[in-house]
Structure 1
Amino acid sequence: MECPGLDSAADFFSSNVSVTDLNGDGKAEVTIPYKLLCDGGIDSYTIKVILREGANKLAICGNSLVKIPGQEPFGGERQYDKALLSPANAAYKQHMDKVWKVVSVDIRK
């Protein structure tokens, strides 16, 4: 991410990284949420929640929901990989939605 003249940052939500076996097939899935920031003021940051199982990769991408006291929240949009919307991936989507709910809220003071 290039941000000429702007503030930039990239961080993992390390306390929300997880290794699971949601579908019980004996293969581990790794979920890694992270954020990317490129702004010059009060902007939401880009969030990605990635789940990998072997070569398979599923993702939710969007931006943080910014909450500032006394103001209307803004941001919070997200998009799912098409494969994540498949009924076969329902357990993954449910897990990733829980992670998203935790990491996507940005409360500013």
Structure 2
Amino acid sequence: MKSIITLFFITITSITIAQSETHLEKISTLEPDLWLGIWDSANSSTKIKIDTLSYDDIPKTLDFRGTVVEALHWEDALGNNILIQTVTGHFNWKDYEDNGTDYMVQDKAELYAYLFTKKKGESTYQRKWKIYDYTACFGVDWHIGFLAKATTITDIDEDGISEISIPYLVVCRGGMDPSSLKIIMYEDNEKYALRGETMIMCGSEDSYGGDFTMSDTVQNNTSFKNFLVQRWDSTKCEDGMQF
């Protein structure tokens, strides 16, 4: 009987230790940031001094959600700016029906981008704008994320106020359909956007997709329109796309 009790406690202890080790291993691998090389320094302005921030460099007073994949700092005519881009990764989401009771569990992932500005003479940063998007998908192939080496900081109209352009991809499909592609650009609080789809089988006779629509703000600004269309053409091809 004593042998059975001893064996029982050894078994329970072993399970507890194994669970503790697994728990500690999960905790030890958690990271607040995951740098993915989102910033396109080659196509950003050379006249603006842009610095990358580590997670510890981000002021603790800034409120944002998600895992940081890029953080940039620079100064322009409006003050000191910090751009933070984050993603949540995949998680389960309850998609409730209209009755508020029945639901279907779907896969979901979210994406955020924040601009915080500290005006000249002020001591604290204030959030100027936020980009939020998500995919809620019950499909085989699904993803939302920023494109690698695609976010730019520019001053196209040379007015001293920077423009931030952020391309990203939204995928929910079960075949070879194009993905949703968006390029969102801000100058101060003014928003400019191209929205469309990626191109599949680029460079071949059978290529398809790649079309977009533009916001009125883009349509009415020739210099920004030319820049954003060029950025679209350089990022629309999904073949070999990094995301």
Q: Which TM-score band (shorter chain)?
A: 0.7 to 0.9
Structure 1: state its 5+ residue gaps.
Answer: none
Q: Which has more radius of gyration? A: 2
Q: Which amino acid aligns with 1:100?
A: W
Alpha-carbon separation, structure 2, partners of 1:2 and 1:76: 23
Q: Which amino acid aligns with 1:82?
A: D
Give yes or no for the alignment of 1:102 onto 2:241.
no
CA displacement 1:10-46 (0-9 Å, x = unmatched): 1211312110111111101101001110011111100
Runs of 4+ in 1 over 4 A off after TM superposition: 68-71
Give yes or no for the alignment of 1:46 onto 2:180.
yes
The answer to whether the 8 A contact 2:199-2:238 is kept is yes
Of 143, 159, 162, 1:25 maps to 159
The residue aligned with 2:149 is 15
CA displacement 1:29-71 (0-9 Å, x = unmatched): 1010011100111111000011101110100000011017976
Deviates more, 1:69-78 or 1:48-57: 69-78
Deviation at 1:105, TM superposition (A): 0.9
Deviation at 1:99, TM superposition (A): 0.9
Paired positions, count: 106
Q: Which amino acid aligns with 1:54?
A: D
Structure 2: state its 5+ residue gaps.
Answer: 1-134
Q: Which amino acid aligns with 2:234?
A: V
| C-alpha RMSD of the superposition | 1.8
Alpha-carbon separation, structure 1, partners of 2:196 and 2:169: 10
The residue aligned with 2:108 is none
The two structures have a TM-score, normalised by structure 1, of: 0.88
SS in 2 for 1:59: strand
Q: Which amino acid aligns with 1:51?
A: M
Give yes or no for the alignment of 1:65 onto 2:199.
yes
SS in 1 for 2:217: helix
Alpha-carbon separation, structure 2, partners of 1:95 and 1:70: 25
The residue aligned with 1:3 is 137
Q: What's the % identity of the aligned pairs? A: 25
